[in-house]
Amino acid sequence: DYRREKRLRRADGRWQWVRMTASAVRSDAGPPYAVAHIEDVTVRRAAEAALARRALVDPLTGLSNRGVLLDHVLLEIRELERLGGAVAVLYLDLDRFKDVNDTLGHAAGDEVLRTVATRLSETVRGSEAVGRLAGDEFIVVAHVWDEAQALRITRRLVDTVSEPIVVGSRAIVVR
């Protein structure tokens, strides 16, 4: 028996997932032959990918969720034995964010959170991980060699987040 899922390019250029199964059939009544079945599983594969993404990613910001961040912290702690140094877990809570939701509405608040997430993602370096803990709380995990390096990373992140965010015609400053 043969079973396999494979991604194929259609004639129109789009990609499609198919499940192919084939079985050899032997019979005393005639020569052996094969039965093959090809099934389009594109929708199922897309649903599985969406579920996996929801399990790992904050849906509003696209950042890692708390479970992924915890895994990253544990990975960094294991790396300490090999590399030395320390793990910095930096917690960022936006000041005056409640005021944004209360005065401008939740859509504006969501826009602020997405902008902060984008800025943090663009600011962290390859060895640093950023995620959304909950609400207006973000975490950055970094391997550092000393406290001074952790403070430099913190200053860089705070400076990035403190830049005004334009929502509609309003400039909003969160820190």
Catalytic residue numbers read 136
Order of strands across the sheet that contains 137-144: 86-93, 137-144, 129-134
Question: Which residues 6+ apart lie within 8 Å of 52 measured at CB?
Answer: none
Q: E strands of 110-149, at which residues?
A: 129-134, 137-144
Is 102 in contact with 37 (CB distance < 8 Å)? no
Q: Which of 133, 58, 28 is nearest to 90 (CA)?
A: 133
Inter-residue contact 109 to 146 (CB < 8 Å): no
